Structure 1
Amino acid sequence: MRKLNLLMMGAALALGMSATAQTKWKLDKGHSSVRFSVNHMVVSEAEGTFKMWDGTVENSKDDFSDAKINFTVDVNSINTDNERRDGHLKSDDFFNVEKFPTMKFESTSMKPLGNNKYELKGNLTIRDVTKPVTFQVTHGGVIAGGRGRKAGFKATTTINRFDYNLKWDRATETGGLVVGKEVEVTVKVELDEVK
């Protein structure tokens, strides 16, 4: 009986320690960004940002290898510094923001590669399509100061927009696409620890 009690106390202590070790982070939106670029007319690139997004990160290991990441983007906040183009991107040719106002990412793994590099895998939902995607991540580190602990990350990936029904397609005179298929996505985040 005494051994059983000791085992139960040990288990309770271990559970309590793991619960207190869980760290939650929120985005510092003033020091974060979501950007994309895509080939335009074959010879150049068009760039844009999303102005409204949110996300959380939770981890219990200091190296973030067990991080759980959830990220949402308000697609209606797209901004390419061209109002007419932004309107086209919001239409059914691309995002159809009236029907699908939010993009979502949910992580499935965060694998350390060494030298502050990670491979982040998860599921990306755009419109009504969810597909696995892999981000290459650089961890800028963690600092502690008068404003609490902060962590920084930069994540990049390339997706094929046709995979997500961003279907508008028009060829140039030379046969290339006016808007390329491959879209490079860059997410830079500064995180604040939630106390």
Structure 2
Amino acid sequence: MKRILLAAAIGTFLLASCQNAPKADKVEASEAQQVQTSAGADYKADLAQSRIEFIGTKPVGKHHGNFLLKDGDLVVDNGSVTGGKFTIDVNTLRADDQDSTGNAKLGGHLLSPDFFDVQKFPTANFEITAVKAGIDTASVMKDATHTVTGNLTLKGVTKSISFPAKIAVNNNQTTAEANFNIDRTQWNLSYGNDKSLGDHFIAPEVNIQFHIVAAKG
């Protein structure tokens, strides 16, 4: 009986320890789409207020970090976002869920050729190809107002993705928020994607969250 109870306890511990990506809409990557010229006024991204965050998971925990924008803008026509493009400065990647030594070690590894290979690919990009009012009824992000489609470029690989977003436009400022999961291996970020690694396995699914604030130029 003790052995059975011990086995059950171990099983419960292992299940509890196994971390999944945060609950969010999972996006499917497809071939990059053609970008059309968008009519409207340019709203320049506020680099100080805008942020991009990520969460990666493994069997025994998770890691949180962020990037800074290098530049970006949204195009707004008649009160609706019609386009936009953002450049992420990959070299600004910072891990922020450990002590300073642990964060520096993890950040350095993520910037190495194992992951983002920042020496070859110093920037990442997202360019909007379509914005549609409304979201899928099955969306996890219930307060989202629009569905955004665009080309995401990471590590030199460009794929089209669609995700729900909360967008608010006024005369002088536009904000956009989103929270979704991607499969990093579709952008050749494959390090650690082998379950035989045990505790060193890194889940392919990564959570992405962004908050963009853009002001009319």
Normalised to the residue count of structure 1, the TM-score between the two structures is: 0.77
Q: Counterpart of 2:186 in 1: which secondary structure?
A: helix
CA distance in 2, matches of 1:133, 1:116: 16
Query: Would you say the 8 A contact 2:46–2:213 is kept in 1?
Result: yes
The SS at the match of 1:84 is helix
Structure 2 CA distance, aligned partners of 1:116 and 1:80? 27
Whether the 8 Å contact between 1:75 and 1:97 is mirrored in structure 2 is yes
The answer to whether the Cα contact below 8 Å between 2:91 and 2:118 also exists between their aligned partners in 1 is yes
Residue type of the partner of 1:45? Answer: K
Equivalent residue number for residue 103 of structure 1? 124
Q: Which of 192, 195, 201 is the matching residue for 1:169?
A: 192
Alignment of structure 1 residues 1-195 onto 2, 5 Å = 22-40=40-58, 42-64=59-81, 67-81=82-96, 82-113=103-134, 117-142=145-170, 149-169=172-192, 175=198, 178-194=201-217
CA drift of 1:39 comes to 1.0
C-alpha separation in 2, matches of 1:164 and 1:33: 21
CA distance in 2, matches of 1:106, 1:51: 16
Identical pairs, percent: 30
CA distance in 2, matches of 1:174, 1:116: 37
Alignment check: 8 A CA contact 1:48 1:79 kept: yes
Q: Which runs of 5+ in 2 are unaligned?
A: 1-38, 97-102, 136-142
- The count of aligned residue pairs is 166
Gaps of 5+ in 1: 1-20
The alpha carbon displacement at 1:54 in A equals: 1.7
Question: Deviation string for 1:44-76 (max 9, x for gaps)?
Answer: 321100134321111213132xx1110110111
Output the aligned Cα RMSD: 2.2
Answer with 1 or 2: which has the greater Rg. Answer: 1
Aligned counterparts of 2:124 and 2:48: Cα–Cα separation in 1: 20
Using the size of structure 2 for normalisation, the TM-score is: 0.69
The structure carrying a bigger strand percent of its residues is: 1
Answer whether contact 2:91 2:122 (CA < 8 A) is retained: yes
Structure 2 counterpart of 1:13: none
